Amino acid sequence: MQNNDIYTEPNPIDFNTLANLGPLAPMAGVWQGTRGLDVKPKAEGPKKQAYVENITLQPIDPQTNGPQLFYGLRYHTHITKPDNVKTYHDQVGYWLWEPATQTIIHTLTIPRGQIVMAVGKAAPDARTFELIATNDDVNFGIRSAPFIEDNFKTVEFRITVTIHDDGTWGYEEDTVMMIKGQDEPFHHTDKNLLHKVADATPNPLAI
């Protein structure tokens, strides 16, 4: 019989987020990647840019929507060009794991007027997983301020994460754009390999 109770929270809840992150567990901590590669659109054509990335992923307390339960990581990504202190890219958001449905949700916000929420499925011990968002999905979609929407319309976002046996992890992103004046979609890609520089701090309830 279907449970129609949309208000009652799960009981009990394990408050140790680090022990309940499923496939996201190896990503918790503070990381650095020094060999990032960005392929971005320019008027003269695609341009490759190396980048250095510092990303912090810290566990949050369990989150509930009535009976729905998420464990997650709050993150901040700060990217510069090599030997340059000027910010090249800044991004904040959450990685969320829903154990009951083996669903991963990735949210991202960038300070150029754009937000994305992508989704994917993975087993709790998965070592690689892919998440997708499209601009026509009312749940897992892409929203952009007018300048980006009118000139660099993002129609799809994909990210593939791979956890390596040596403790590192990496990602490959493909942001598909329809650029004003061009007939074919442009694939704005990013990839990097992250090395841990510090462990995660337990979430407040776990402490």
Q: Is residue 59 part of a domain?
A: yes
Domain interval for residue 80: 17-198
Q: Is residue 26 part of a domain?
A: yes
Torsion, CA 124, CA 130, CA 136, CA 139, rounded to 10: 20
Residue 146's CATH number: 2.40.128.20
Q: Is residue 4 part of a domain?
A: no
Residue 66, CA distances (Å) to 4, 7, 153 in order: 11, 4, 35
3-state secondary structure (DSSP) of residue 75: strand
Q: Is residue 99 part of a domain?
A: yes
Q: How does pLDDT run across 22-58, given as a tens digit for each residue?
A: 999 999 999 999 999 999 999 999 999 999 999 999 9
Gap between the Cα atoms of 36 and 192, Å rounded: 4
Confidence tier at 134 by pLDDT (50, 70, 90):
very high
Q: Is residue 203 part of a domain?
A: no
Q: Is residue 206 part of a domain?
A: no
Cβ neighbors of 64 (< 8 A, separation 6 or more) are: 9, 10, 13, 70
Gap between the Cα atoms of 138 and 190, Å rounded: 25
How many domains is the chain partitioned into structurally? 1
Q: Is residue 11 part of a domain?
A: no
